[in-house]
């Protein structure tokens, strides 16, 4: 095991303890652009994450956990709505960048926080929102009763400015100024919240911007000042992208600072005597990029290959779920939404049926795992997982091998990702019937989604009437 651990983990087995008579608290922790192998419990030998490693030993570590999208804002939309991101216009952007009245989660759309609030939960979000901008959208308008954090997709860790160089730290919907490293600020606020008495169950959404760019560790306030000063000059790409910064060592600092913050939150939960009765979920919004480690998978953030969508996923619930377990069952973000709604004693709205499948009976009653298809779609790729097989539809250019010439799509590929997570052995020729079944299932679900607008930058385009498809950078 990583970091010198010799702990032997066992495959998941439901304990059939049944559900508690009182609804559990929920602490959902979401990392930003965390790679598959960036935690000790997922194979990192350089990044030390003792708190998340301990969380994994105290619950279930999923080896086939998936994000709802390979992009950050669509995954967040899928988490809060429990539905495919392509059912909302905001879910079509990769990621969400246009600040308009049409681009966000509508206030009348049922969400995980609004449904749990209706069931008597106190709800709070700390950290990154990225599901629409004021004056039209905010966490408070979809069911969160408390919010401290940022609205944009990225924010400087010290200067607290967004991708346009504008201040982006809010208490509720009020701009605020507060000095400090952002990872620490939201960790401390979350720790304070879970330690307090709310007179009933709570749902806390703790959304780190770590380890997303800019590449600033806890000791880098000068880097933040330099980045902010670049907004006073002419720029094409947001200075927050920090294209001239970062390193493996710096990335390690971001992840380890997040782990330390999570440790403080978990300690506060334990100090208040609430650990046993709190469901803690940790995962990432998509695969890693630049400095992350997605090995052994191919691809990264933005790709529907495993490196872009398979993510760390840990669930702990001491009152119900035994410790030190591992599950290889495929689970996607929307399943977590459906599960938490059911375990919270609530029901989804009949007019907005969930696309996720609840795992509640599997977790608490020893029921069989609810087998179901996992579906993804971006502007230039599509994927569907059923059992051990994954269908990958790729509209981009691909090479047969390495640096061989790239040929234009469309490609319809089939992989057994239980043994070929690198997606190198295309089995479409060996199992044409399986390919046809999965392709048909994907096309059916794709037809239910909103269409991508013709001007979408990710759509393949023809440079001439006879030329190959060329994707715009996205």
Q: What is the pTM of this model?
A: 0.94
Cα(325)–Cα(272) distance, integer angstroms: 25
Q: What is the pLDDT of residues 221-268, one digit of tens each?
A: 999 999 999 999 999 999 999 999 999 999 999 999 999 999 999 999
Q: Is the pLDDT of residue 66 over 50?
A: yes
pLDDT confidence tier of residue 9, bands split at 50, 70 and 90: low
Cα(284)–Cα(276) distance, integer angstroms: 23
Q: Which own/partner contact pairs does 361-370 have at CB distance under 8 Å and 24+ positions apart?
A: 362/14, 363/14, 363/315, 363/317, 363/320, 363/321, 363/339, 364/14, 364/16, 364/17, 364/18, 364/19, 364/320, 365/14, 365/16, 365/18, 365/19, 366/13, 366/14, 366/15, 366/16, 367/14, 369/329
Cα(437)–Cα(467) distance, integer angstroms: 31
φ/ψ region of 114 (left if φ > 0, alpha if ψ in -120 to 50, else beta) reads alpha
When pLDDT is averaged across residues 98-109 and rounded to a whole number, the result is 95
pLDDT recorded at residue 155 = 98
Task: Give the residues across from 280 on adjacent strands.
Answer: 27, 316
Q: Give the containing element (helix H, strand E) for 116.
A: helix 112-118
- Residue 404 sits at the vertex; the CA angle it makes with 402 and 405, to the nearest 5 degrees, is 135
Q: Among 339, 277, 284, 287, which Cα is nearest to 309's?
A: 287
Whether the CB-CB separation of 462 and 469 falls below 8 Å is answered with: yes
Task: Classify the C-alpha dihedral 281-286-291-294 as positive or negative.
Answer: positive
pLDDT confidence tier of residue 332, bands split at 50, 70 and 90: very high
Q: What does the mean pLDDT of the chain come to?
A: 93
Q: What is the pLDDT of residues 405-464, one digit of tens each?
A: 888 889 999 999 999 999 999 999 999 999 999 999 999 999 999 999 988 888 876 544
Q: Map out the domains of the chain with their CATH numbers.
A: 25-371 (3.40.720.10), 380-448 (3.30.1120.10)
Q: What is the pLDDT of residues 267-294, one digit of tens each?
A: 999 999 999 999 999 999 999 999 999 9
Q: Among 71, 52, 113, which Cα is nearest to 309's?
A: 71
Cα(257)–Cα(261) distance, integer angstroms: 6
Bridging pattern class, strands 65-66 and 10-11: unpaired
Q: Is the pLDDT of residue 316 over 60?
A: yes
Q: Give the containing element (helix H, strand E) for 363.
A: helix 360-364
């Amino acid at each position: 095991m990583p970091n010198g651990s010799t702990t032997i983990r066992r495959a998941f087995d439901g304990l059939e303890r049944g559900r508690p008579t009182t609804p559990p608290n929920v602490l959902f922790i979401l990392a930003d652009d965390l790679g598959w192998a960036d935690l000790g419990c997922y194979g990192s030998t350089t990044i030390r994450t003792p708190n998340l490693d301990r969380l994994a030993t105290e619950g279930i570590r999923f080896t086939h956990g998936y994000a709802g999208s390979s992009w950050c804002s669509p995954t967040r939309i899928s988490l809060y709505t429990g539905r495919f991101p392509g059912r909302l216009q905001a879910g079509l952007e990769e990621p969400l960048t246009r600040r308009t009245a049409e681009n966000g989660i509508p206030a009348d759309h049922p969400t995980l926080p609004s449904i749990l609030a209706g069931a008597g939960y106190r709800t709070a979000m700390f950290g990154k929102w990225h599901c629409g901008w004021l004056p039209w959208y905010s966490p408070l308008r979809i069911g969160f009763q408390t919010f401290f954090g940022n609205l944009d997709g990225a924010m400087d860790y010290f200067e607290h400015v967004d991708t346009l160089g504008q201040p982006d730290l809010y208490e509720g919907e009020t701009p605020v100024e507060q000095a400090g490293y952002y990872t620490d600020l939201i960790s401390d606020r979350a720790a304070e919240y879970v330690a307090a008495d709310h007179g009933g169950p709570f749902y806390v959404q703790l959304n780190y911007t770590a380890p997303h760019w800019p590449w600033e560790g806890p000791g880098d306030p000068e880097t933040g000042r330099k980045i902010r000063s670049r907004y006073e000059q002419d720029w094409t790409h947001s200075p927050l992208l920090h294209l001239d910064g970062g390193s493996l060592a710096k990335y390690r600092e971001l992840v380890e600072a997040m782990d330390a913050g999570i440790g403080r939150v978990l300690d506060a939960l334990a100090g208040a005597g609430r650990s046993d009765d709190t469901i803690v979920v940790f995962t990432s919004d998509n695969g890693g990029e630049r400095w992350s480690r997605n090995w052994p998978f191919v691809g990264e953030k933005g790709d529907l290959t495993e490196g872009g969508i398979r993510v760390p996923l840990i669930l702990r619930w001491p009152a119900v779920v035994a410790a030190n377990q591992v599950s290889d069952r495929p689970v996607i973000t929307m399943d977590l939404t459906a599960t938490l709604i059911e375990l919270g004693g609530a029901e989804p709205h009949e007019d907005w049926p969930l696309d996720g499948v609840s795992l509640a009976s599997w977790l608490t009653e020893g029921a069989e795992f609810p087998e179901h298809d996992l579906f993804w779609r971006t502007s230039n790729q599509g994927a569907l997982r059923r059992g051990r097989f994954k269908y990958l539809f790729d509209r981009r250019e691909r090479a047969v091998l390495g640096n061989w010439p790239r040929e234009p799509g469309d490609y319809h590929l089939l992989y057994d990702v239980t043994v070929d997570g690198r997606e190198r052995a295309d089995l479409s020729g060996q199992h044409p019937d399986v390919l046809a079944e999965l392709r048909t299932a994907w096309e059916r679900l794709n037809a239910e989604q909103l269409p991508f607008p013709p001007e979408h930058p990710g759509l393949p385009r023809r440079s001439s009437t006879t030329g190959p498809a060329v994707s715009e950078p996205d």
